């Protein structure tokens, strides 16, 4: 009742004064982004001289003019503002400085993940901003917020992160660093953790058959990472990171330009994992103890006038991991049955150089030469198993680019030479091998300029173990209508499988190794050979003035021969040549949209059908989720006076996974046929305090999902049933981290 | 195998040898405004026999090309560029073609430079 009376009073007052007062406060932003009052600003009703000016606190009050209803706020040095008056208190009115507008440049920041409409291949480009979303720490983790590539953990003891594309593990993907092969051979399992995320400038992910330029090994895709360049990178960069499981990371880069053409960079990464974590109380560490130190010295020479570009790099790394039971003491228990423990010690040296020349008068013609040497040395033991591998590799490639008639017809041709020497000891049985090959390639690119383009490539290689063979690769793009592209590709790849290096987790189990090879060159096994075919469609469009892109693709990899890795008998791991069929089908659908200004959503659904004929029959590939559903939300506030907030959230649903057959085990060590599906969530908040300094805070696996009982027979690791290889979900509980980045 | 390599090397040497005579760099001014003009000018000229490389800059209005002088001359290129709507010294685009250009490309009107070029991505 009192309320009604109060209302009545207001109405009466309003009627009583024919002219009530319109109030407001005039403000501006200072350099620090804070609002401060604007005194003495003129406030007047549009096209009249009725008005007032603001007081020292920016406040004003002027009688309402109901015929005009538009109030003009102006002050010298500011842009005037005209405000429709629809309420008595106009609140805060911000004036902006009057800048001289000689040219309006409309800029839209390029999205950190780009799917190109125009490239012939199905390429996703990822820049360093995207890598910041996974604040930790190396290349394997950089893919966790990216739907094109899946990250899997190899097993419950090593905790090595491996990636997958189109349902196939990383050995079937080609990795290159600045277009030179890397992460292959001995470094297959751990190699991704040897490239610190903060050194990476951008990543290009090509699905399906790659290009013939980089070799014949790629089957399901090609991932290239570009490192930061001394001439263009920040002068100094420092990043520290720590998480609740006592993982510490140090990243620093220092660059100096010796002259306009010559720059030098020194990059250092170190990490320490010092947490003795066994939250699931199975007596095994949930995450390895680790130490890594990693240096790179990089030189860049660039002289656009003469047309020469050149790089030289030297990188050295030393990495040690200790894992196994928490009461394992390496000094007294190594290779004994006192306790199960493992140590993996790796040292690696990489030296590479590149030189390129663009003919100054002929901008379409150039040549390039690349060469790389690496020496990788791993010494390790897993319980009573010992495994050592030494891999020396030499690579060189010469490429010549030019045109046939006009730039509608481009070609690349060249020669390559590779050498890989392997020395392996598996429980003191030596396996020594060397591979070398000489090859020539030719790749033709046609562009009709009216929407059709294709790249057709062929290479011929002569290889001591793979024989003489041809590798065809073909990519086509056709522009169907405005902002829509259709792509198709096919290609073949061939490789020899390094069965131990690629499946190192087998040593963390009591499984017997069984190689059923005949007289092949790779541990008695035949080389692997597969065709990959794919089609994709992408449509970009503007929905309510914001970019939306939709894409769908389908890829099939069909093996002609494969080294089948058979985990289906819990007593053994068997390697044998494929007899029958083995294929992988994958479908991916993406929908990306900017829902609100600077608020982006990315969604991806992937379906996999990966089937192999095992000795025991046709089965789905084990530990392969049948589907994945990925959602990423990203919001960035406007940068005001160098300050900004960035929010990022990723959720990943993984469908059920077939588990290897354990029916031969006693009931207590048997697993279900299928795992459950589960969800993983990561989130991160970054606060940019200035152009030089930002801090971040985040969490991984914040839903705290872990696989119960990740190690079979963990209390009897020297018994028959010990097995840590059947891992379908995380072992580590929710992880929280903080860090900062400082750059000049 | 060996023959493939020899062919590849032979091809390489041929291409380099070729690079000396028949590659004349030319440049002249062409009128135009925007990215759409750039694409139109470059497309028209690169499709001419004898034009190996063509680029046009919306900022400087300079057209640069590498041509095989035995097969084509500068007036041939200017003529073709005028046929798709762009004027250059000595060659004027027919009004019928010019009038059909999108509004933002009508470079003869000084105001057209400031026009919205739509959603180009």
Per-residue pLDDT of A87-145, as tens digits, reads 788 888 888 876 654 445 555 566 777 777 777 888 888 877 777 776 667 888 778 77
In this predicted structure, the answer to whether residue A86 has a pLDDT above a threshold of 90 is no
In this predicted structure, the answer to whether residue A693 has a pLDDT above a threshold of 70 is yes
Residue in A81, A53, A92, A47 with CA at minimum distance from that of residue A67:
A47
d(CA A715, CA A565): 27
Q: Mean pLDDT throughout A447-464?
A: 92
What residues form DSSP beta bridges with B62? B29
Helical pair B35-46 and B74-83, crossing angle rounded to 10 deg: 130
In this predicted structure, the answer to whether residue A314 has a pLDDT above a threshold of 90 is yes
pLDDT recorded at residue A566: 93
Per-residue CA distances from A390 to A368, A501, B55 (Å): 30, 10, 51
- Higher pLDDT: A80 or B25? It is B25
CB contact set of A443 (below 8 Å; sequence gap of 6+): A211, A212, A213, A411, A412, A413, A455, A456, A457, A458, A473
Give every strand in the sheet of A572-577, ordered side by side.
A512-516, A572-577, A563-566
Q: Please tell me the total number of residues recorded for chain A in this structure.
A: 744
Asked if the C-beta of A105 comes within 8 angstroms of chain B's C-beta atoms, the answer is: no
Residue in A591, A593, A622, A594 with CA at minimum distance from that of residue A608:
A622
CB contact set of B53 (below 8 Å; sequence gap of 6+): A362, A363, A364, A403, A406, A407, B46, B65, B66
What residues form DSSP beta bridges with A243? A737
Judged by average pLDDT, the poorest of A12-26, A370-384, A466-480, A713-727 is: A12-26
In this predicted structure, the answer to whether residue A17 has a pLDDT above a threshold of 50 is no
How many Cβ atoms sit within 10 Å of the Cβ of residue A192? 24
Q: Mean pLDDT throughout A386-414?
A: 94
Locate A345 and state its tokens.
Answer: 């010690």
Locate A686 and state its tokens.
Answer: 């970054």
Judged by average pLDDT, the poorest of A85-99, A581-595, A620-634, A667-681 is: A85-99
Q: Which residues on chain A are in Cβ contact (under 8 Å) with B15? A: 365, 400, 402
Q: Which residues on chain A are in Cβ contact (under 8 Å) with B54? A: 407
CB atoms A449 and B1 under 8 Å: no
pLDDT recorded at residue B21: 56
| A698-712: burial string, b at 16+ Cβ within 10 Å, e else | bbbbbeebbbeebbb
Q: Mean pLDDT throughout B62-87?
A: 91
pLDDT recorded at residue B12: 54
- Chain A nearest C-alpha distance from B5 (Å): 6
Residue in A372, A444, A421, A460 with CA at minimum distance from that of residue A178:
A372
Q: Which residues on chain A are in Cβ contact (under 8 Å) with B46? A: 406-408, 449
Give every strand in the sheet of A200-207, ordered side by side.
A113-115, A123-127, A200-207, A221-227, A173-177, A180-182
Helix residue ranges, H only, A537-598: none
Report chain A's mean pLDDT, rounded to a whole number. Answer: 88
d(CA A312, CA A372): 10
pLDDT recorded at residue A11: 42
Per-residue CA distances from A326 to A17, A29, A280, A407 (Å): 82, 57, 12, 64
Q: Mean pLDDT throughout A437-456?
A: 92
CB atoms B12 and A400 under 8 Å: yes
Cβ atoms of B44 and B84 within 8 Å: the answer is yes
Q: How confident is the model at residue A14 (pLDDT cuts 50, 70, 90)?
A: very low
Q: Which residues on chain B are in Cβ contact (under 8 Å) with A361? A: 23, 25, 66
d(CA A381, CA A507): 8
Cβ atoms of A238 and A269 within 8 Å: the answer is no
Pairing of strands A221-227, A173-177: parallel
Residue in A289, A178, A189, A268 with CA at minimum distance from that of residue A223:
A178
pLDDT recorded at residue A16: 41
d(CA A636, CA A632): 13
Helix residue ranges, H only, A54-98: none
CA-based torsion, A591, A596, A597, A601: positive or negative = negative
CB contact set of A38 (below 8 Å; sequence gap of 6+): A26, A27, A28, A54, A58, A75, A78, A95
Q: What is the largest CA-CA distance in chain B?
A: 63
Q: Mean pLDDT throughout A253-260?
A: 93
Instruction: For residue range A196-206, list pLDDT tens digits in order.
Output: 988 998 888 88
Helix (H) or strand (E) holding B43: helix B35-46
Q: Mean pLDDT throughout A248-273?
A: 94
CB atoms A359 and B43 under 8 Å: no
pLDDT recorded at residue A131: 74
Q: Mean pLDDT throughout B2-12?
A: 58
Q: How confident is the model at residue A1 (pLDDT cuts 50, 70, 90)?
A: very low
| 3-state class (DSSP) for residue B103 | helix
CB contact set of A106 (below 8 Å; sequence gap of 6+): none
**Chain center to CA of A92:** 44
pLDDT recorded at residue A588: 94
Asked if the C-beta of A413 comes within 8 angstroms of chain B's C-beta atoms, the answer is: yes
Chain A contact probe: residue of B3, B48, B52, B115 with most A CBs at under 10 A: B52
Cβ atoms of A658 and A622 within 8 Å: the answer is yes
Q: Mean pLDDT throughout A563-592?
A: 94
Q: How confident is the model at residue B113 (pLDDT cuts 50, 70, 90)?
A: low
Asked if the C-beta of A631 comes within 8 angstroms of chain B's C-beta atoms, the answer is: no
Per-residue CA distances from B38 to A447, B33, B83, B86 (Å): 17, 8, 15, 10
Place of tokens 């053409």: A261
Judged by average pLDDT, the poorest of A234-248, A551-565, B9-23 is: B9-23
CA angle A534, A651, A593 (to 5 degrees): 65
Chain A contact probe: residue of B14, B66, B120 with most A CBs at under 10 A: B66
**DSSP letters for A435-474:** EEEEEEEEEEEEE-SSSEEEEEEEEEEEETTTEEEEEEEE
pLDDT recorded at residue B13: 53
CA angle A241, A223, A588 (to 5 degrees): 100
What residues form DSSP beta bridges with B61? none
d(CA A566, CA A574): 5
In this predicted structure, the answer to whether residue A83 has a pLDDT above a threshold of 90 is no
Q: How confident is the model at residue B19 (pLDDT cuts 50, 70, 90)?
A: very low
Q: What percent of chain A has pLDDT over 70?
A: 95
**Chain center to CA of A637:** 23
In this predicted structure, the answer to whether residue A464 has a pLDDT above a threshold of 90 is yes
CB contact set of A675 (below 8 Å; sequence gap of 6+): A656, A657, A658, A659, A707, A728, A729
Asked if the C-beta of A33 comes within 8 angstroms of chain B's C-beta atoms, the answer is: no
Locate A664 and state its tokens.
Answer: 């031969």
Asked if the C-beta of A415 comes within 8 angstroms of chain B's C-beta atoms, the answer is: yes
Q: Mean pLDDT throughout A303-316?
A: 92
d(CA A154, CA A724): 10
DSSP state of A676: P
Q: Which residues on chain B are in Cβ contact (under 8 Å) with A449? A: 43, 46-47
d(CA B84, CA B75): 14
Place of tokens 């190690």: A711
Helix residue ranges, H only, A290-346: 330-333
d(CA A422, CA A178): 24
Burial category of B111 from C-beta neighbours within 10 Å (exposed 0-12, middle 13-18, buried 19 and up):
exposed
d(CA A86, CA A367): 68
pLDDT recorded at residue A214: 87
Q: Mean pLDDT throughout A157-164?
A: 80
d(CA A186, CA A395): 15
- Higher pLDDT: A68 or A220? It is A220
Q: How confident is the model at residue A513 (pLDDT cuts 50, 70, 90)?
A: very high
CB atoms A460 and B4 under 8 Å: yes
Per-residue CA distances from A387 to A208, A345, A381, A621 (Å): 33, 11, 6, 26
Q: How confident is the model at residue B121 (pLDDT cuts 50, 70, 90)?
A: very low
CB atoms B46 and A542 under 8 Å: no
Which residue from A minimizes the CA distance to B116? A106
pLDDT recorded at residue B33: 87
Chain A contact probe: residue of B21, B36, B53, B55 with most A CBs at under 10 A: B53
Q: Mean pLDDT throughout B115-120?
A: 46
CA angle A393, A417, A557 (to 5 degrees): 85
Q: Which candidate from B8, B47, B53 shows the least CB-CB separation from A442? A: B8
CB atoms B19 and A414 under 8 Å: no
CB contact set of A223 (below 8 Å; sequence gap of 6+): A149, A163, A165, A173, A174, A175, A176, A203, A204, A205, A206
Provide the whole-model pTM.
Answer: 0.80
Asked if the C-beta of B84 comes within 8 angstroms of chain A's C-beta atoms, the answer is: no
Chain B contact probe: residue of A105, A406, A469, A479 with most B CBs at under 10 A: A406
């Amino acid at each position: 009742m009192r309320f009604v009376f109060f209302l009545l009073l207001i109405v009466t007052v309003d009627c009583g004064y024919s002219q009530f007062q319109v109030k407001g406060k005039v403000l501006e932003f200072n350099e620090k982004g804070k609002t401060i009052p604007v005194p003495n600003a003129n406030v007047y009703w549009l096209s009249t001289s009725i008005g007032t000016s603001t007081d020292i606190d920016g406040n004003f009050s002027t009688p309402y003019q109901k015929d005009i209803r538009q109030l003009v706020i102006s002050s010298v040095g500011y842009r005037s503002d005209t405000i429709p008056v629809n309420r008595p208190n106009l609140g805060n009115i911000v004036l902006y400085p009057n800048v001289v507008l000689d040219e309006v440049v409309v800029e839209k920041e390029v999205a950190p993940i780009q799917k190109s409409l125009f490239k012939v291949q199905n390429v996703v480009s990822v820049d360093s901003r995207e890598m910041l979303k996974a604040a930790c720490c190396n290349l394997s983790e950089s893919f966790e917020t990216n739907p094109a590539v899946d990250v899997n953990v190899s097993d419950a003891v090593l905790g090595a992160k491996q990636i997958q594309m189109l349902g196939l593990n990383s050995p079937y993907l080609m990795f290159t660093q600045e277009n030179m092969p890397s992460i292959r051979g001995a470094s297959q399992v751990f190699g991704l953790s040897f490239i610190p995320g903060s050194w990476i400038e951008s990543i290009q992910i090509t699905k399906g058959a790659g290009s013939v330029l980089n070799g014949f090994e790629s089957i399901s895709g090609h991932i290239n990472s570009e490192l930061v360049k001394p001439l263009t990178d920040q002068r100094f960069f420092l990043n520290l990171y720590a998480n609740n499981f006592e993982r510490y990371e140090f990243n620093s880069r220092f660059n100096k330009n010796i002259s306009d053409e010559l720059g030098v960079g020194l990059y250092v990464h170190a990490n320490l994992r010092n947490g003795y974590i066994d939250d699931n109380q199975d007596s095994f560490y949930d995450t390895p103890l680790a130490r890594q130190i990693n240096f790179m010295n990089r030189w860049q020479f660039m002289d656009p006038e003469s047309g020469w570009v050149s790089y030289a790099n030297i990188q050295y790394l030393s990495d040690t991991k200790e894992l196994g039971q928490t009461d394992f003491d390496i000094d007294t228990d190594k290779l004994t049955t006192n306790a199960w423990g493992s140590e993996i010690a790796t040292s690696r040296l990489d030296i590479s150089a590149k030189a390129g020349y663009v003919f100054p008068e002929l901008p379409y013609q150039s040549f390039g030469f690349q060469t790389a040497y690496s020496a990788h040395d791993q010494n390790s033991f897993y319980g009573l198993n010992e495994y050592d591998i030494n891999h020396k590799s030499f690579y060189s490639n010469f490429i010549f680019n030019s045109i046939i008639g006009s730039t509608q017809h481009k070609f690349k041709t060249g020669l390559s030479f590779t050498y890989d020497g392997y020395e392996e000891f598996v429980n003191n049985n030596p396996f020594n091998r060397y591979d070398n090959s000489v090859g020539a390639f030719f790749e033709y690119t046609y562009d009709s300029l009216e929407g059709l383009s294709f790249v057709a490539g062929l290479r011929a290689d002569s290889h001591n173990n793979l024989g003489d063979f041809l590798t065809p690769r073909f990519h086509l793009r056709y522009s169907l209508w405005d902002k829509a592209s259709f792509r198709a590709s096919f290609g073949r790849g061939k490789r020899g499988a390094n069965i131990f290096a690629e499946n190192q987790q087998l040593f963390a189990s009591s499984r017997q190794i069984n190689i059923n090879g005949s007289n092949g060159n790779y541990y008695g096994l035949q080389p692997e050979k597969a065709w990959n075919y794919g089609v994709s469609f992408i449509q970009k469009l503007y929905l309510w003035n914001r970019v939306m892109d939709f894409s769908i693709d389908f890829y099939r990899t069909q093996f002609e021969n494969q080294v089948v890795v058979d985990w289906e008998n819990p007593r053994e791991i068997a390697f044998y040549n494929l007899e029958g069929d083995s294929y992988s089908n994958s479908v991916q659908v993406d929908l990306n949209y900017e829902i609100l200004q600077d608020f982006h959503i990315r969604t991806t659904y992937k379906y996999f059908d990966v089937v192999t004929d095992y000795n025991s029959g046709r089965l789905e590939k084990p530990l392969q989720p049948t589907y994945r559903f990925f959602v990423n939300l990203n919001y960035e506030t406007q940068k005001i006076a160098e300050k900004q907030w960035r929010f990022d959230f990723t959720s990943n649903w993984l469908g059920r996974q077939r588990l290897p057959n354990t029916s031969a085990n006693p009931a207590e060590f048997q697993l279900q046929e299928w795992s459950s599906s589960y969800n993983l969530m990561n989130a991160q908040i970054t606060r940019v305090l200035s152009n030089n300094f930002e801090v971040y805070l985040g969490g991984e696996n914040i839903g705290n999902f872990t696989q119960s009982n990740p190690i079979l027979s963990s209390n009897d690791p020297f018994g028959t049933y010990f097995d840590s290889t059947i891992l379908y979900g995380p072992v580590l509980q929710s992880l929280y981290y903080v860090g900062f980045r400082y750059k000049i | 195998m060996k023959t493939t390599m020899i062919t590849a090397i032979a091809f390489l040497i041929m291409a380099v040898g070729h690079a000396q005579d028949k590659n004349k760099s030319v440049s002249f001014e062409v009128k135009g405004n925007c990215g759409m003009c750039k694409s139109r000018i470059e497309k028209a000229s690169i499709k001419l026999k004898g034009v190996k490389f063509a680029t046009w800059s919306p900022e400087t209005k300079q057209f640069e090309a590498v041509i095989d002088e035995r097969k084509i001359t500068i007036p041939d290129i200017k003529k073709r560029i005028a046929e798709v709507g762009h004027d250059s010294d000595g060659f004027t685009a027919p009004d019928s073609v010019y009038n059909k250009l999108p509004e933002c490309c009508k470079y003869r009107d000084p105001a057209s430079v400031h026009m919205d070029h739509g959603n180009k991505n």
